[in-house]
Amino acid sequence: MIAQQVAFWIIAVAMALAAIGVVRSQNVVHAALYLVVVLAGAAAQFILVASEFVAWVQVLIYIGAIVILFLFGIMLTRAPMRSEGSLDNSQRWAAAVVSLFLFGVLAALLINAYGSKEITLDNKLVVVGNTDTVGTAMFHDYLVPFEVVSLLLLAALIGAVVIARRD
């Protein structure tokens, strides 16, 4: 129990710092690498609550595919590696005020609503998160949404090819 708390806090602090790095870094490639830290940290948090399947999907899809896509995007748009100008626009301070205000509201609301409710870590939780249960739920209870999502992916694939095609 204590070990899990310690692991949670170490990973959470790393994720928070890396998230600030994503939005503050003046180098686009560094921002993408900070994003990898955030996504890997999220996968580790999923492992901590025994959601092993989602954790590995997170590693495969997010870190393996999406970040690589981002790096291709950075390469193809020749985003400035060395900052010639700032990567931030002039409404930086207003944006900081908005996000801090929203964080304050959300944190107060969540602490007020959920107090010190605990996630009980037991054998039942391990069964809920494993590949067997998730796969059965996905292909049994959520079969129609699954098929709709696969159609959406196909549409996105064709759309991306059509949009980015040189003609």
Query: What is the footprint of other proteins within residues 73-102 (CB under 8 A)?
Result: 73-74, 76-80, 86-89, 91-92, 94-96, 98-100, 102
Give the one residue of 3, 115, 144, 167 binding other proteins; rule: CB under 8 A: 115
Specify burial of residue 135 (Cβ count, 10 A radius: 0-12, 13-18, 19+). Answer: exposed
d(CA 71, CA 66): 9
Give the one residue of 4, 10, 81, 147 binding other proteins; rule: CB under 8 A: 4
Give the one residue of 3, 144, 164, 167 binding other proteins; rule: CB under 8 A: 164
Q: Report whether 34 contacts 21 (CB < 8 A).
A: yes
State yes or no: residue 44 binds other proteins (CB under 8 A): no
Q: Residue 41 CB, nearest distance to other proteins (Å)?
A: 9
Q: Report whether 18 contacts 41 (CB < 8 A).
A: yes
Q: Report whether 12 contacts 42 (CB < 8 A).
A: no
Residues 21-40 that bind other proteins (CB under 8 A): 22-23, 28, 31-32, 35, 38-39
User: Would you state the structure tokens that stand for residue 50, as one six-digit string?
Assistant: 């025994």
Closer residue to other proteins in complex, CB, 82/94: 94
